[in-house]
Structure 1
Amino acid sequence: MSTSTSTSTSTSNGARTALSGWGRTAPSVATLVPAGSDDGVRRAVLGSGERGVIARGLARSYGDSAQNGGGTVLDMTTADRVLSIDTTTGRVTAEAGVSLDTLVRVLLPLGLFVPVLPGTRQVTLGGAVAADIHGKNHHVKGSFGNHVVSLDLLTADGLVRTLTPEGSPRLFWATVGGMGLTGVILRVTIRAVPVETAFFAVDTERATDLDDLMARLQADDDRYTYSVAWIDLVARGRSTGRAVLTRGWSARRDQLPKRLADKPYHFAPRSLFTAPDVFPSGMLNRATITAFNEAYYRRAPRDQRGAIQSIGQFFHPLDIAKDWNRVYGRRGFLQYQFVVPFGQEEAMRRAVARLSQAGTASFLAVLKRFGPGNEGFLSFPTPGWTLALDIPVGVGLGRLLDELDELVLEAGGRLYLAKDSRATARTLHRMYPRVDDWRAVRDEVDPRRVFTSDQAKRLDL
């Protein structure tokens, strides 16, 4: 469950509600206020009091970035209209609470697709900008902010500013990846990309170990629009880092099988079931994950070319289960994602070896290559290797991740704010060399730091 809703009081100004991130750790209680109109957002911001305010979308950031204990949290999902679509230019304008799932459903029949799609469609447009999300195509297309034409931002003084990368670059790039701390994103205009179908032509292959995987990615990754590898972090010895590599392109109409030829834009995903909130913490452990990983690796094709897959199959296999985060139990889980620069392959080898040695119980672990970063002060992607993994909360986890933090720092890498739930301010500030420049821009538009979150307080942002 992405939010915990144990409401103790309710008023016309919102309800006191316990909120957590997707990892279900460290909940805090805030006044949750529906966003509504611009005037409603303005009233909430100007009346937020000394504990401040933060916007919240569909709560798919894993940690505490959309929480504000003792303060105000704006529920942006109530502002969810698609406002305009220009099929000639691909420009799409929508309110910040629109989900990427909605955008995909609306755009596909028009022959358009979102430019960047992460591991779930259940992300709001505002959240996609605030976290500067990335997908399987970062190595060729960059992150979400690269495709934003303009955005409307309500700042701490109650004014609405229209930002563009050309006309207001400092505040624009402080907002892209700024985790909602420069203001409330109200509307966003993006450039959608043309597609012939709603399907993907996918090549799948097995890699025997981490070196084999990285060699395959280095050899020909740039031929593919989309690329990602599931990696086994439990395997040891000669199999350490073995992986299943899936890469592909948007499928052309002439590549579709006959059964899909008359419905090239068919897209009707649905959750097959909702995970009940009954799973014990510790059910996902080394034994169960070892069994799962062995079955998953053996089931994958050794070398398959051009298989036609749907959006759900290729991008979002976990979305078939609604509230899948409940499987980790009530203690919850962390997602840990880092990037190290090209040339620091040994650091990635050491990280994978350490995780394997620790018996990290992660069945969801992915490795991919990033291309060039953008101008975002706090944007996460930078050229290099990135690894993301889910880890159940358990004894010794903090020490393990502290070790990995130091390894990443030594390699000149960084952690992803949208996934973070436990880093320290000192660590984070050493990883992001432009954090002081970002703070200077933020302080110009919000000198009293009206916009804040549990994460911002923890990381001194």
Structure 2
Amino acid sequence: MVGVSSWGRLASWEHEVQALTDRTQVARHLAGSLPGLAHGMGRSYGDVCLNPGHTLWKTTGLDRFIAFDDTNGHLVCEAGVLLRDIQHLALPRGWMLPVTPGTQLITVGGAIANDVHGKNHHVFGSFGDHVRRLTLVRTDGSVLECGPDEQPEWFAATIGGLGLSGVIVTAELQLRRVAGPWLDTETLPYANLDEFFAIADSSEADWEHTVSWIDCLGGSSQRGLFMRGNPSAATGLPEPKGRSKTMPFVPPVSLVNGLTLRPFNTAYFHLNKWKAGHGVAHYEPFFYPLDNLHEWNRIYGPKGFFQYQSVVPRAVGRDAVQAMLTEIARSGEGSFLAVLKTFGDRQAPGMLSFPEPGVTLALDFPNRGEKTARLFDRLDAIVRDARGRLYPAKDARMPRDLFEAGYPRLAEFLPFRDPGISSALSRRLMGH
């Protein structure tokens, strides 16, 4: 047994870890180590990727490309391939993943199981919208091939299915054409939520990527920075040469605290306000700003951190976001990684997919025990009243009633669960 933690580093739990390296032998590996759970890079923040006291099937050894047709952008690969490696393979050939989250250091299987989203949901939806087909191995030895037009119910249960319908072994993805690795960008400061929503609404028609940083400690101002971008035809620009760095140690206390948060947020806002305007950016720093700082999660100290990400319907979005920011400011807690954006009016591909039309707010909080828990209870009440939902990929403590209310297709999903697969999250929110 070895200790395994998720990205939030809230604790380390003992697991039996088994490496999967041969896709033709996955069914044999699953049979004798139940209950188990597929585990990729472990970049989920909470307990969706953990199975304490039981087995994790490590999928990063399933890292082979199987086929790539660069005339139509169809890529077939194993589930342990990293999104980073797809980008590096496809971009020189004029293709790119249509949807990626804030890190490219995750596996294809993890991206499917959590139906991750990016900055362009209003244009391209979520990751699952671009999966053409996948191979799913069940713990009873059965192998299912499914896609939007082949066993679509199994497909919808697996996209965003939190790894609970089986082990994803291979996937066929549809990539999108691009001229190169560059984006035409614009940064716009805003002074309050009304300005944010005005910019967000006016940007959807002409900008593919939209996202904003908001100062959650800004009091009544709710100031922030709205970033938007479009694929660019720019050529001849020098590739970024920034060297990656590593947070070398875990400090004895969180570096995100009352002494550092307000000065950081103030400095970040004013520095980027000064640099606001049009520019050209390489896709990596634009999409994945933290990937060059390895082990950045260590800055939260030995107790780790939570991420709280919600989505609430657009009709009540302004009031709900305002209420959450007010509670955060009142609590004395705070985040310098506070992201506010809108989701487009699109139907999600998975039964348990997180994105839905509305407004999503994501914040990181150091783990301060009961004080943090009380804040989350108050934020839960706001999300519940707004008929919103929380993101399981980021969650470590969501109440079961909020999960059941937020995911109305849960009852439809449950018959597709593999009885030999379990996770800490599934035991907490589904009973087993």
- Check 1:375–1:315 CA distance in 2 against 1; reply closer, same or farther (3 A cut): closer
Alignment of 1:381-460 (within 5 A): 381-395=355-369, 396-442=371-417, 446=418, 449-460=419-430
Deviation at residue 378 of structure 1 after TM alignment: 0.4
- Per the alignment, residue 227 of structure 2 pairs with 246
Which amino acid in 2 is paired with 1:457?
R
**Partner Cα separation in structure 1 for residue 414 and residue 241 of structure 2:** 43
Q: Provide TM-score, normalisation by structure 2.
A: 0.96
Indicate whether 1:21 and 2:6 are aligned.
yes
For residue 276 of structure 1, report the CA deviation from its aligned partner: 1.6
3-state SS, counterpart of residue 22 of structure 1: coil
Q: Quick check: 1:350 aligned with 2:323?
A: yes
CA drift of 1:352 comes to 1.5
The residue that corresponds to 2:15 in the other structure is: 30
Q: Distance in 2 between matches of 1:269 and 1:424?
A: 42
Give the letter for the 2:37 counterpart: I
Distance in 2, matches of 1:302 and 1:215, equals 21
Shift in Å at residue 268 of structure 1? 7.0
Identity %: 38
User: Deviation per CA, 1:135-154, whole angstroms, max 9, x where unpaired?
Assistant: 00011110000000000000
Q: Which residue identity lines up with residue 46 of structure 1 in the other structure?
A: A
CA distance in 1 between partners of 2:33 and 2:248 (Å): 35
User: In structure 2, what is the equivalent of residue 130 of structure 1?
Assistant: 113
**Alignment RMSD:** 1.5
Structural mapping, 1:128-207, within 5 Å = 128-207=111-190
| Counterparts in 2 of 1:452 and 1:120: CA distance versus 1, 3 Å | same
Q: After TM superposition, give the deviation of residue 434 of structure 1 in Å.
A: 0.9
Contact 1:205–1:302, Cα closer than 8 Å, also in 2: no
Alignment partners' CA distance in 2, 1:307 and 1:91 = 31
> What is the distance in 1 between the residues matched to 2:274 and 2:26?
53
Match of 2:302 in 1: 330
SS state of the match for residue 227, structure 1?
strand
Partner secondary structure for residue 286 of structure 1: coil
Report how far residue 302 of structure 1 moved.
5.7
Q: Deviations over 1:392-442 (max 9, x none)?
A: 001411011111112101111000010000112222112111101100232
Would the aligned equivalents of 2:191 and 2:224 in 1 still touch at CA under 8 Å?
A: yes
2:282 partner amino acid: S
Q: Give the Cα–Cα distance (whole angstroms) in 2 for the partners of residues 373 and 280 of structure 1.
A: 45
Residue 39 of structure 1 and its aligned partner are, at CA, apart by 4.4
1:39-62 CA distances to partner (integer Å, 9 max, x unpaired)?
44212211113xx00000111100
Partner AA of 2:423 in structure 1:
S
Distance 2:27 2:266 in 1: 53
After superposition, give the CA deviation of every residue in 1:358-380 in whole Å (9 maximum; x if it has no partner). 23231101011101132311000
| CA drift at 1:270 | 4.8
The letter for the 2-side match of 1:27 is S
Retained in 1: the 8 A contact 2:189–2:225? Answer: yes
Q: Give 1:269 shift.
A: 6.6
User: Which residue number in structure 1 is paired with residue 28 of structure 2?
Assistant: 43
Distance in 2 between the 1:313 and 1:114 partners?
Answer: 16
Aligned to 1:9: none
For 2:259, the equivalent position in structure 1 comes to 287
2:11·2:304 contact (CA, 8 Å) conserved in 1?
A: no
Contact 1:60 1:123 in 2 (8 A): yes
Q: Secondary structure of the residue that 2:90 maps to in structure 1?
A: helix
Q: Once the two structures are superposed, what CA deviation does each residue of 1:271-293 show, in whole Å capped at 9, x if it has no partner?
A: 1x110223122321122011111
Offset at 1:356?
2.0
> The residue matched to 1:248 in structure 2 has which SS?
strand
Partners of 1:347 and 1:110 in 2: CA distance: 44
Residue 362 of structure 1 aligns to a residue in which SS?
A: coil
- Does 2:35 align with 1:65? no
Cα 1:270/1:179, change in 2 over 3 Å: farther
Gaps of 5+ in 2: none
DSSP 3-state at the match of 1:301: helix
- Give, as a single letter, the amino acid of the residue that structure 2 aligns with 1:206: P
The residue type equivalent to 2:230 in the other structure is W
What is residue 10 of structure 1 aligned with on the other side?
A: none
Paired residue secondary structure (2:104): coil
Amino acid at match of 1:249: N
Q: For 1:336 and 1:259, how far apart are their aligned partners in 2?
A: 38
Distance in 2, matches of 1:126 and 1:18, equals 22
Partners of 1:305 and 1:97 lie apart in 2 by: 39
Contact in 2 for aligned 1:230/1:366 (Cα 8 Å): yes
Match in the other structure for 1:5 = none
Q: Equivalences for 1:283-322 in 2 at 5 Å?
A: 283-301=255-273, 304-322=276-294
Amino acid at match of 1:367: L
CA distance in 2, matches of 1:116, 1:159: 30
Q: Is the alpha carbon distance of 1:451 and 1:138 closer, same or farther for their aligned partners in structure 2, counting shifts above 3 Å?
A: same
Partner SS for 2:102: coil
Determine helix, strand or coil for the equivalent of 1:66: coil
State which of 324, 333, 341 in structure 2 corresponds to 1:360. 333
- Report Cα offsets for 1:165-193 as digits up to 9, x if no partner: 11111110100000100000000111101
Tell me which amino acid in the other structure corresponds to 2:368.
Answer: G
Q: Deviations over 1:234-267 (max 9, x none)?
A: 1113x2x2111100111113xx4x544xxxxx57
Decide whether the 8 Å contact of 1:233 with 1:360 is kept in 2.
no
SS at match of 2:347: coil
Alpha-carbon shift at residue 82 of structure 1 (Å): 1.3
Q: Please give the residue correspondences for 1:209-220 in structure 2 after superposition, counting only pairs within 5 Å.
A: 209-220=192-203
Please state how far the C-alpha of 1:26 moved relative to its aligned partner: 3.4
Residue in 2 aligned with 1:4?
none
